[in-house]
Structure 1
Amino acid sequence: MTAYSELNLQYISGKWREGNSQTMYENRNPYDDALITAIKLASKEDIEEAYFAAEKAQPAWEMVNAFKKTEIFENAVSIMKARREEICDLLIQETGSSYAKASVELEFCISITREAASFPMRMGAEIVPSLVHGKENRIYRRPVGVVGVISPFNFPMYLSMRSVATALAAGNGVVLKPDEQTAISGGLLIAKIFEEAGLPKGLLNVVVTSIDEVGDSFVEHPIPRVISFTGSTAVGLHIAQICSQMMKKAILELGGNNPMLVLEDADVDKAVQSAIYGKYFHNGQICMAINRMIVHENIYETFVDKFVEKSRKIKVGDPRDHSNMIGPLINSKAVERITREIEKAKAEGAKVVLEGKVEGNILSPYILTSTTNDVSTAKNEMFGPVATVIPFKTEQEGIAMANDTPYGLSAAVYTGSIEKGVEVAKQIQSGMVHVNDQSVHDEPLIAFGGEKKSGLGRFGGKWSLDEFTTFQWISTQNEMREYPF
């Protein structure tokens, strides 16, 4: 047994205890359906207690010496590094990650926590000149108070940590609601790490619950001033509506329909190699994954042939075998959804040039070709190992096709000229565009986020600091001023 193998309790008000729901959730391995643990879910009352605990603990935390705060985050980094193999194994078991994906996810967690460790030193004040004689204007950066975090199943540890670590480091209390399918790696493990690192009790709370039972109560609760959500656009829009009605800030990273635009002068072999990673990493279950490959007609057939050839060679199977790059999707519903979309695209005129197969929750690569951007697999985010390849004639036509979506999260441009690629990238309506690389990329110091229906706000570096803080103007009148009456 490992130190983190029995995380089946809620973490509320600094205590590990069962939830008050009557529902037990069975946390199962998506590869073989083996039971990992059973968790008694949290109720609305548990959410209430968690928010009150965070609110109670936050004022004292805000006043803790910056060097002491930083030390706690450095401790958390050390714990993650020391328990690398154990954490990677948990990610493989709970999320179906390949070993390569689990390693990358943990590195992201370490990097963003290391960046968060600098936040306490950046919570300073600025003195600004005044129009009024004898007045001093001070602008203080302050924590917002309490942040509610809702994270998804695909990169559960990192997509929780990027909000949890940064919000805590900025002086806030946090209540985290991970997806119940990845309750341990997305939440309870993080609570354990910070508990061991020395975070004050009550400041971070983790509630594992079911939306069917608690409804919108996590978002509607009056205590959190910011809700950080990563997930589907449909749910994100609903959360945004609630937050706007309650004058809360919503930070939303939502769906994507990410294009890879391959220009006529691109190196086809390099573009294909990048496309393989950008499409199939973590089985395509990444918001930034390439969904459409839009390729100039003069190199289209060559690209398709080489992409199919390389896709056939990808090892598929049990993620515990470190040589397998594609493992299970998160559940059977995901498999069923994707296969329906494939059949619909075929009926709409798309051709299957590489036909995958279904084995349990594993879906091996599917590649379709289409003459238009309008087939289902190109219009909709697949969130699985399915690619649609589409030809274009002119550069402007390719750009228009890349932009022909309500989403704008990430994109890629492949070309023989970096500067040309940058000029094309500027014309793509996307929060992030990568030239001569693929679309799956994140870094702790970069503004991460989307345009259009892909979300609001930015994560990473100083942008996270801005999202989880507010500014207060305090002026001092040091000399008696003259008033007009």
Structure 2
Amino acid sequence: MTDIPRNPLIDQDVWTGRLFGGAEGSWYTAGETRDVTEPATGERLTNIGLARAADVARAAKAAAAAQPAWAALPPRDRAAIMRRAAAALERNLEHTAHYVARETGGIPAKAQLEVAEAATQLHIAAGLPLQPQGLVLPSTVGRTSYARRVPHGVVGVISPFNFPLILSMRSVAPALALGNAVVLKPDPQTPVSGGFLIARAFEEAGLPPGVLQVVPGDADAGAAVVEAPEVRMIAFTGSTAAGRKVGELAGRLLKKVSLELGGKNTLIVLDDADLDLAASNAAFGAFFHQGQICMATGRIVAHRKIAAELTRRLVEKATTLPIGDPASGTVAIGPLINARQLQNVDSIVRASVQAGAVLEAGGTYERLFYKPTVLSNVRPGMRAFDEEIFGPVAVVTPFDSDDEAVELANRTEYGLSCAVIGTSLNRATAIGDRLKCGLLHINGQTVADECVNPFGGRGDSGNGGSMGGPADAEEYTQWQWVTVKGAAERTPF
């Protein structure tokens, strides 16, 4: 087993072969276990309990039993627990980030960002219980009428492998802060980063027993989270294919569901752009965390006048970025999460080259390390243009007019993130106003999130909801209308 630096949050003896929660709100032995493999080395990293449907059903019942007392806790007390959990992450940031880097295959800077942002999400959530919780409404004389926000009860959170700590915490923290209990199912490839670290932080913070349940598992466990009658809202982050299944099941059960799914995100580079800056932004958007980001720059739509030179600069970056084990701290590109994902990336690249795209750099791999790849002459109809790649592939498509750039960017069923780079702000903004996306960046790239912003897409990127910032109070609570009279009055019946 790989040696992991010890800190109060990283204690393999605590979670080995176990799940977290139950009626006692502690670690308990699971019926099944699974090894977790470090993608960079292929070594066994740790061992965890693996939840099945029956485990999830028990977790949901325990969460429902604990939730009323948690919601009744004074708002300042709930806020204090959020702050203490944040402090636990901040105290142990370096060693915690080291583990996150190894489990996710991310470089240290990415892992440190993830831990720091998770702590920030907790600080933001700490403010939610202390905000106004409703509105006084106009009504008849002698009757007080108001609408207040109340918890759903139990929120199910299903999170992915790529940024597991952030993408779990962005739902867990506000849901808990607003009085819900949570059943969290992290991806079993990253169960510690996406689940057990959160459990450990809340243990240190003094979260009451049963309020948080952590049950890493496969698709059957995810379906059980959605099906559990105690769970009234689902917050899902993952692929569009899996999101469709979650949405269909939740819809049949009349549950609220927030779907944050994939993207085929376009960066438009205008002919007046600074090409050094444009290449830097395009490379980061396409290659950061090996392209395993829903907001990754899936297309670089460049004006024909500058497309060749921009491609040349991208090739220079792709061929000089160091590749290797992120734990070394000297690399920019780590491994893909598993062999299945690597083969999908490679098949998209090969199919696109066969269809006429030009392989300018990369296109090869060793173990799970896929070299940063640049494809030029990519056209609609090629897999690299149409499909989410989720790998380190920069896809360059030329355009001749602003109208064509907009048409190319909008030629997708996705609608998550878009960006435009150019020196004429009026022109870039006018183009941006015509793009169909939930996140828009003028003179930026497509990968961006600041915790305080509403985050969500449209079309195949999600169901139009948002998480984060001002959206959280609406997502994780629902309206209740209340009227109060001094005494009951006689009705016409």
Deviations 1:229-250 (A, max 9, x none): 0000011011111111111011
Q: Does 1:69 align with 2:49?
A: no
Q: Secondary structure at the match of 1:199?
A: coil
Q: Secondary structure at the match of 1:205?
A: strand
* Aligned sequence identity (%): 38
Shift of 1:382: 0.8
Partner residue, 1:162: 170
Q: Does 1:15 align with 2:26?
A: yes
CA distance 1:371–1:324, change in 2 (3 Å): closer
- Mapped to 1, the partners of 2:174 and 2:332 lie a distance apart of 31
Q: Which moved more, 1:35-44 or 1:195-204?
A: 35-44
Q: Given that residues 153 and 182 in structure 1 are in contact (C-alpha distance below 8 angstroms), is that contact kept between their aligned partners in structure 2?
A: yes
From 413, 420, 429, the equivalent of 1:406 is 413
Shift of 1:161: 0.4
Shift of 1:353: 0.8
- Mapped to 2, the partners of 1:356 and 1:235 lie a distance apart of 28
From 172, 180, 198, the equivalent of 1:190 is 198
Q: Given that residues 134 and 481 in structure 1 are in contact (C-alpha distance below 8 angstroms), is that contact kept between their aligned partners in structure 2?
A: no
Partner residue, 1:52: 61
The residue type paired with residue 339 of structure 1 is D
Q: Given that residues 282 and 297 in structure 2 are in contact (C-alpha distance below 8 angstroms), is that contact kept between their aligned partners in structure 1?
A: yes
Deviations 1:193-237 (A, max 9, x none): 1011111110000012222x5472221111111001000001101
The residue type paired with residue 227 of structure 2 is E
Q: Does 1:430 align with 2:437?
A: yes
Q: Which moved more, 1:24-33 or 1:369-378?
A: 369-378
Partner residue, 1:152: 160
CA distance 1:484–1:17, change in 2 (3 Å): closer
Deviations 1:346-372 (A, max 9, x none): 111111011243111101111111252
Q: Given that residues 352 and 378 in structure 2 are in contact (C-alpha distance below 8 angstroms), is that contact kept between their aligned partners in structure 1?
A: no
Partner residue, 2:137: 128
* TM-score normalized by the length of structure 2: 0.95
Deviations 1:427-484 (A, max 9, x none): 1000001111111011121110001110021011120121000111111234877866
Partner residue, 1:219: 226
- Mapped to 2, the partners of 1:441 and 1:17 lie a distance apart of 38
Question: Counterparts of 1:455-466 in structure 2 under 5 Å?
Answer: 455-456=462-463, 457-466=465-474
Q: Given that residues 134 and 479 in structure 1 are in contact (C-alpha distance below 8 angstroms), is that contact kept between their aligned partners in structure 2?
A: no
Question: Counterparts of 1:41-440 in structure 2 under 5 Å?
Answer: 41-122=50-131, 124-130=133-139, 132-211=140-219, 213-214=220-221, 216-440=223-447
Q: Given that residues 160 and 178 in structure 1 are in contact (C-alpha distance below 8 angstroms), is that contact kept between their aligned partners in structure 2?
A: yes
- Mapped to 2, the partners of 1:390 and 1:474 lie a distance apart of 56
Q: Secondary structure at the match of 1:137?
A: strand
- Mapped to 1, the partners of 2:121 and 2:317 lie a distance apart of 33
**Count of residue pairs brought into register by the alignment:** 481
From 476, 483, 486, the equivalent of 1:475 is 483
Deviations 1:392-422 (A, max 9, x none): 0110100000000000111111111223322
* TM-score normalized by the length of structure 1: 0.96
Q: Given that residues 51 and 175 in structure 1 are in contact (C-alpha distance below 8 angstroms), is that contact kept between their aligned partners in structure 2?
A: yes
- Mapped to 1, the partners of 2:344 and 2:117 lie a distance apart of 29
- Mapped to 2, the partners of 1:247 and 1:430 lie a distance apart of 27
Question: CA RMSD for the aligned pairs?
Answer: 1.5
- Mapped to 1, the partners of 2:132 and 2:169 lie a distance apart of 20
From 22, 26, 32, the equivalent of 2:41 is 32
Shift of 1:30: 0.2
Structure 1 unaligned blocks of 5 or more: none
- Mapped to 1, the partners of 2:453 and 2:490 lie a distance apart of 47
Q: Given that residues 19 and 43 in structure 1 are in contact (C-alpha distance below 8 angstroms), is that contact kept between their aligned partners in structure 2?
A: no
Shift of 1:374: 2.1
Q: Given that residues 236 and 257 in structure 2 are in contact (C-alpha distance below 8 angstroms), is that contact kept between their aligned partners in structure 1?
A: yes
From 454, 457, 470, the equivalent of 1:450 is 457
- Mapped to 2, the partners of 1:419 and 1:49 lie a distance apart of 56
Q: Given that residues 431 and 450 in structure 1 are in contact (C-alpha distance below 8 angstroms), is that contact kept between their aligned partners in structure 2?
A: yes
Structure 2 unaligned blocks of 5 or more: none
- Mapped to 1, the partners of 2:51 and 2:198 lie a distance apart of 17
Q: Secondary structure at the match of 1:216?
A: helix
Q: Given that residues 237 and 259 in structure 2 are in contact (C-alpha distance below 8 angstroms), is that contact kept between their aligned partners in structure 1?
A: yes
Q: Given that residues 291 and 387 in structure 1 are in contact (C-alpha distance below 8 angstroms), is that contact kept between their aligned partners in structure 2?
A: yes
Q: Secondary structure at the match of 2:231?
A: coil
Q: Given that residues 20 and 27 in structure 2 are in contact (C-alpha distance below 8 angstroms), is that contact kept between their aligned partners in structure 1?
A: yes
The residue type paired with residue 383 of structure 1 is F
Q: Given that residues 58 and 172 in structure 1 are in contact (C-alpha distance below 8 angstroms), is that contact kept between their aligned partners in structure 2?
A: yes
Q: Given that residues 356 and 364 in structure 1 are in contact (C-alpha distance below 8 angstroms), is that contact kept between their aligned partners in structure 2?
A: yes
Shift of 1:323: 2.3
Q: Secondary structure at the match of 1:36?
A: strand
Deviations 1:13-33 (A, max 9, x none): 212012123xx3110100111
Shift of 1:170: 0.8
